[in-house]
Amino acid sequence: MKPEMNHANHSNLVAIEKPIYGGSFLAHVEGKAVFVPLTLPGEQLRIRITQSKSAYASAEVEEIVAAAPERTAPPCPHFGTCGGCHYQHTDYTTQLKLKQSILRETLERGGVTVPRDISVLSGKPLSYRNRIRLAFDASGKPGYRSRRSHFVVPVTECPIAAPLLMEAAQAIAEIARKVVPPLRPTELALFCDAAESSFFVSISVAKAKKIRFDEFAELLHAQIPALLGAELLLKSKDSQPPRTVAHWGAASLSYHAAGFDYRVDHGAFFQVNRWLVDALVVSVTAGHSGALAWDLFAGVGLFSRRLTASFKRVIAVESAPCSTKALAANLKGTVGIPVRAATHDFLRRDHQEQRPDLVVPDLIIVDPPRSGLGAETCALLGAVGTPALVYVSCDPATLTRDLKTLVNTGYSIQSITLADLFPQTFHLETVVQLRRS
């Protein structure tokens, strides 16, 4: 008798075929694709269908009948319940192979011709995160969202985070309960420098009346002297971003990376892997020099600052208010010029002016958000005609879409590097070097 796909309690015996971007692995039941988390290729399992749609189904493991030899014990006691990690059940070498496979298949399935070799940039697979975000359960314990729901899973440790951050999170929860009136945080964001010598904390609350935030911050600083700055955010009742209602200490910290000290302000984007920042900068910028470079989606200037050593002029474009002041500070006294603008607006102005004195840059670096560049921005980049383009991506699907467009405008792919900035998770960074054909 054929298995009932629509019966939530029905058990199916399956063989896992390959990894899928997003953390799950592929199996088939009656020809239908089934996505199963926490498994490995080659494993035989009994699974329970939890959701069935017209094109695919989702399932959970009931029994591992035959485990893959690469399966290992996870380093975190919360793995499987917590939704933060996806690959702790296998060794790091296997994780990298899984990600290479996913990246190659995503690109090729999207019509991108992939070089024979995809290089891998990797570092230590634990304690790498310089930034974490936690929520709080009803009792005031910090944790991450559950893998299966939005419920908060209280955590006492997080092997992928810098130890200072988890120490601070536990201290914040303890002090928040003791202050009068209690702080009652809903979310917590922490960011530290690579050496764990200083850190920021942003605390979100639903109500901010009568909160003595200075007293809270002083107590936290006394317990963890590395605290450099703290802010209290009041969550909006609509879709608006939260607003800062109290602040203590410094508004920025100094982050040493790639040979420079970068100013990083509260809320500004900075690469999350403290072991790989230097190597990532080298991977993106090495071998490039000339008269002019553009760094688009520049953030606080991680790539721009390095480019000022090999280019006569560097234009760094950034629109996020939390990053622009730090970008200007990090480029002060160099050949770098900060421009406060959205990338597509900057490119539109350049394209529409069509001035004969406009200089074509020798290099353009783009490091867009997960949504990628999009058709218009790719077309505008193609119209600029720069000979060298470096695309830093955090999503292989949008990267694939954009690469196909860029190749159609006249670029060819020179190399692809998988930068594993997010070990133990399905997330991956990609650095693509392109040249004008």
Considering the domain architecture, whether residues 284 and 137 belong to the same structural domain is answered as no
Q: What is the pLDDT of residue 2?
A: 41
Considering the domain architecture, whether residues 249 and 299 belong to the same structural domain is answered as no
Considering the domain architecture, whether residues 178 and 47 belong to the same structural domain is answered as no
Considering the domain architecture, whether residues 278 and 424 belong to the same structural domain is answered as yes
The total domain count for the chain is 3
Question: Tokens 């190659």 correspond to what residue?
Answer: 104
Residue 310 falls within a domain, yes or no?
A: yes
Residue 296 falls within a domain, yes or no?
A: yes
Considering the domain architecture, whether residues 427 and 280 belong to the same structural domain is answered as yes
Considering the domain architecture, whether residues 182 and 142 belong to the same structural domain is answered as yes
Considering the domain architecture, whether residues 227 and 169 belong to the same structural domain is answered as yes
Quote the pTM value: 0.94
Contacts of 186 (CB under 8 A, 6+ apart): 135, 136, 204, 205, 206, 235
Q: What is the pLDDT of residue 137?
A: 94
Question: Tokens 């290992």 correspond to what residue?
Answer: 72
Q: For a pLDDT cut of 70, what percent of the chain falls above it?
A: 96
Considering the domain architecture, whether residues 328 and 423 belong to the same structural domain is answered as yes
Q: Which of 19, 48, 66 is the last residue of a domain?
A: 66
Residue 97 falls within a domain, yes or no?
A: no
Q: What is the pLDDT of residue 4?
A: 44
* Residue 167, domain extent: 131-254
pLDDT, mean over the chain:
94
Considering the domain architecture, whether residues 208 and 284 belong to the same structural domain is answered as no
- Helical spans, DSSP H, in 189-290: 213-223, 277-285
Residue 77 falls within a domain, yes or no?
A: no
Q: Which of 20, 39, 66 is the last residue of a domain?
A: 66
The enclosing domain of 320 has a CATH number of 3.40.50.150
Instruction: Collect the ranges in the chain with pLDDT lower than 70.
Output: 1-9, 350-358
Considering the domain architecture, whether residues 213 and 284 belong to the same structural domain is answered as no
- Residue 411: what residue type? Y
Q: What is the pLDDT of residue 7?
A: 46
Residue 246 falls within a domain, yes or no?
A: yes
Question: What is each CA distance from 228 to 196, 275, 396, in whole angstroms?
Answer: 11, 22, 36
Question: What is each CA distance from 58 to 25, 166, 399, in whole angstroms?
Answer: 10, 32, 26
Residue 74 falls within a domain, yes or no?
A: no
| C-alpha distance across the termini of the chain, in Å | 57
The enclosing domain of 60 has a CATH number of 2.40.50.140
Residue 168 falls within a domain, yes or no?
A: yes
Q: Which of 254, 281, 302 is the last residue of a domain?
A: 254
**At 290, is the secondary structure helix, strand, or coil?**
strand
Nearest to 279 by CA among 99, 427, 121: 121
* Contact (CB, 8 A) for 310 and 285: yes
The enclosing domain of 221 has a CATH number of 2.40.50.1070
Considering the domain architecture, whether residues 25 and 166 belong to the same structural domain is answered as no
Considering the domain architecture, whether residues 396 and 248 belong to the same structural domain is answered as no
**At 81, is the secondary structure helix, strand, or coil?**
coil
pLDDT 10s digits, 19-57: 999 999 999 999 999 999 999 999 999 999 999 999 999
Q: What is the pLDDT of residue 208?
A: 81
Residue 261 falls within a domain, yes or no?
A: no
